[in-house]
Amino acid sequence: MKKVLIISIILLGVFLAFPNIYYGNLHAHTSYSDGSLFPEDAYNYAKNYVDVQAITDHAYYFTQLIDGKEKPYLTKIAAENATIPGKFVALQGFEWTAGIGHINVYESIEWISRNIDGSLDGFFKWLIEQKKLGQFNHPIKTFGTFNDFEYYPEADLYMNLIEVGNGNWALGDVISEEMFGNYFVALNKGWHLGATVGQDNHKPNWGSANEARTGIIANNLTYEDIMDALWKRHTFGTEDKNVKVDFSYKDYIMGDIVNDVPSTAILHFEYEDSDVLTYFVLYSQSGTVVEFKPNASKFATDIEVSIPDGYEWYFIYAKQQDTNEIVTSPIWFQANSKVFVNNVRKNRAKLFSGENVGIFYEIYNVSDEYVNVEFKVLDNEREIKKEEISFKPFEKKQKNIEISDLNEGEHVVKFYIDNILVQSFVFNVEKKSGKTVLVDVLHENDHIDYLKSLSPLFEKEGYKVLYSKRMLNNFENVDIIIIPTPKEGGFEFSKDLLPQELKALNEFTGEIIIIPGSDEKYLEVYKEKINGKIVEIDEIKSFFKLKEVSKPLTNKVCVDVGHLNDYGPDKLVKFEQFIKEKGLKVEYLKKIDVLDCRVLIIQNGKDFSEQEISNIVDYVNKGGKLILTSKSDYSDGGNTKDMNKILENLGIDVRFNDDQVIDEVNNYGANYKILVDGIRMYSPCSLIVNDKNAEILLESKTASTEDKDGNNDAIPVDRVILGVRVKIGSGEVIILGKSIFSDYDFDFNKEFIEKIILN
């Protein structure tokens, strides 16, 4: 995340004149594919409800001719006949639909379908050749998210729009959390996209299905001006049919790119509607800039911001009293450079002084020329990389750099192209005590569960805690060794220290702490053979001066909805009502910042930033309760890699399996609808449990597993475990093979939900 300095926010009493705003529906279908009636009917109907209507039938239906003519051509003729300058503009287009995602193309009688080429490479090659306007449609995992919005510099010239909302239901959340979250993903990858909302009509309700619209800022309601506005991204997506919003900088409006980048800029936001504006936020590539609650039906403000580098975007998200949402297109501040850097991230969530970190990024040429540039990277003004890089036209390269021996405090990494600052990236490094503690867990050691529970307290004091692997003889960079002597029972041979282990311990120059275990015989053996300090287990906290952290006692249950998660607010109505009845409240999070809640629920999320993962780990370490759920690998549905990354950073040896659990005996209608101890789980994955601290909550004796996606990445399991609990210090993590909170299953799972949420 980059640093943003908010200089001021000024509430205005003087209002500017709004530009011409026209309201359109840019996504709809007819019987030319899987909709109803004909384009002529659609345009004739829609003109009573919207100013602009596009018909975008699915291209894979186009092989069938009508009276020897192709459907795009007939739609184009119908659009031209329906357009009345100053009153109504009809647009023609088509929808390319493939497993990787769906894309609208506007004003093209040439077409491509998934049967011709279903790859993103192939589609973008076609689009670039045709030089037509494209729009990313309903970017959610159900339909595809375009390889997580993999960036194509040349295609960025033509892919100028993105749906932040989609739906033709009369009631419902059209601007969904998942689509809104993917708006950020796309912008952070480098795409220049204008926000739209489409009704995606398949019934004869073009423009009237609901109040969702795309606001189009154009000089006049003519075909030429509307298409010019769409190409320039002069749009906003809205769930209100006639709201007026203005987001601008000087003479630039939403969708524009400012190449003469100032050090500071005054951004103007203005709103007018019969519905009260209760909340708005200014977002940037660096994160949240400012939030405000105007509670006014007419509102204007100027926000002065500091531009951190040569590539930064800003847009407005607003919410009305009736919960309708509005999302503007961004304004980009982008330096005059042919090469840019984006998609910057680091490979570790939490960093301590003295450690190393890998910084990964994409660097790309946005011009149609061969270019050579001088590339420099600075960390807190210290040059850490300098090289000459050559690019082909529109070439993109994946790069990384390691920063070694990190200093404590804030690090600002700056990327320069020919001495132009084109990107910056900020992260924090915490102070390290200078001591690394290694705990022996290989010799039937006593007190291990308790010592692991102290790990967050050690880390809070700056210690780095490691656990022995394979053999107790690798002490590189270790300052303190803690050896809990063996407990009673277990295998005798496992309690013995090997000769090479004793040799390494005797040569170790750091401090050795021996904690007496319950096996008195081996306690004497260890005391005789190891030169260490005896510290009783109940003295460990005082010996290391570890301080307890208090558990959060807020009344909030936070649900993550910002990472393409399963189930948003519209599918958690019963759960939310239940939580309210218990005297708590539900808060939906689009971004995981510093957490202040009793419980955090993450349902099959993906694309968490390193900072978000660090915030999750800190939350649990400070006593929070975390509930993680995934799902089966049917159609690659489970985000196992992303969810397992959270578990890995928590230090929990439990993983979501990339499989599908099936049960021919205990199910509720199909073998993938699992019943386990009366709990309903719709298409779960199994859990791979190797953590000795894991408490089994749900295990099926009749289920089995299969590699449903056929990728040969499912790990065979002897036990089909579907739920576990792991305590970490005063916090705990509950891991489930599938979310159990949705309205579909809530009534059946209510008792279990109450147990894991409230206990």
Question: What is the per-residue pLDDT for 754?
Answer: 87
What percent of the chain has a predicted confidence (pLDDT) above 90? 71
Q: Name the residue with higher pLDDT: 228 or 552.
A: 228
Q: For residues 197 and 401, what is the distance between their CA atoms, to the nearest angstrom? A: 39
Of 46-50, 56-60, 447-451, 533-537, the range with the lowest mean pLDDT is 447-451
- Helix, strand or coil for residue 357? strand
Q: For residues 78 and 531, what is the distance between their CA atoms, to the nearest angstrom? A: 91
For 577-596, write each residue's pLDDT tens digit: 888 887 788 999 999 988 88
pLDDT of residue 289 exceeding 50: yes
Question: What is the per-residue pLDDT for 552?
Answer: 47
> Do the Cβ atoms of 266 and 302 come closer than 8 Å?
yes
Q: For residues 489 and 483, what is the distance between their CA atoms, to the nearest angstrom? A: 18
Question: What is the per-residue pLDDT for 72?
Answer: 97
pLDDT of residue 447 exceeding 70: yes
Pairing status of strand 264-284 against strand 311-320: antiparallel
Q: For residues 245 and 283, what is the distance between their CA atoms, to the nearest angstrom? A: 16
Categorize the per-residue pLDDT at 680 as very low, low, confident or very high, splitting at 50, 70 and 90: very high
The mean pLDDT value for 189-215 works out to: 96
For 609-631, write each residue's pLDDT tens digit: 988 998 899 889 888 999 999 99
> Do the Cβ atoms of 51 and 24 come closer than 8 Å?
yes
pLDDT, mean over the chain? 91
Q: For residues 757 and 600, what is the distance between their CA atoms, to the nearest angstrom? A: 10
Of 336-340, 429-433, 622-626, the range with the lowest mean pLDDT is 429-433
What percent of the chain has a predicted confidence (pLDDT) above 70? 96
How far, in Å, are 26, 237, 246, 328 from residue 254 at the CA level? 18, 12, 8, 7
Q: Whole-structure pTM over 0.75, yes or no?
A: no
The mean pLDDT value for 18-30 works out to: 94
- Give the count of beta carbons closer than 10 Å to the beta carbon of residue 149: 25
Tokens coding 221: 């309601």
Tokens coding 479: 């300052």
Instruction: Please give the DSSP secondary-structure letter assigned to residue 66.
Output: B
Question: What is the per-residue pLDDT for 63?
Answer: 94
Q: Name the residue with higher pLDDT: 138 or 729.
A: 138
> Do the Cβ atoms of 556 and 585 come closer than 8 Å?
yes
For 488-517, write each residue's pLDDT tens digit: 988 888 899 999 999 999 999 999 999 999
> Do the Cβ atoms of 20 and 184 come closer than 8 Å?
no
> Do the Cβ atoms of 194 and 160 come closer than 8 Å?
yes
pLDDT of residue 279 exceeding 80: yes
In terms of phi and psi (left: phi > 0; alpha: psi -120 to 50; beta: otherwise), the region of 310 is alpha
Question: What is the per-residue pLDDT for 5?
Answer: 43
Q: Which helix (H) or strand (E) holds 499?
A: helix 499-507
**CA nearest to 72, candidates 88, 86, 96, 56:** 56
Categorize the per-residue pLDDT at 433 as very low, low, confident or very high, splitting at 50, 70 and 90: low
For 539-556, write each residue's pLDDT tens digit: 999 899 887 655 445 788
Cα dihedral 110→113→116→122 (10° resolution): 90
Would you say how long the chain is, in residues? 759
Categorize the per-residue pLDDT at 634 as very low, low, confident or very high, splitting at 50, 70 and 90: confident
**CA nearest to 638, candidates 658, 608, 609, 655:** 658
For 290-327, write each residue's pLDDT tens digit: 999 999 999 999 999 999 999 999 999 999 999 999 99
For 519-544, write each residue's pLDDT tens digit: 999 999 999 999 999 999 989 998 99
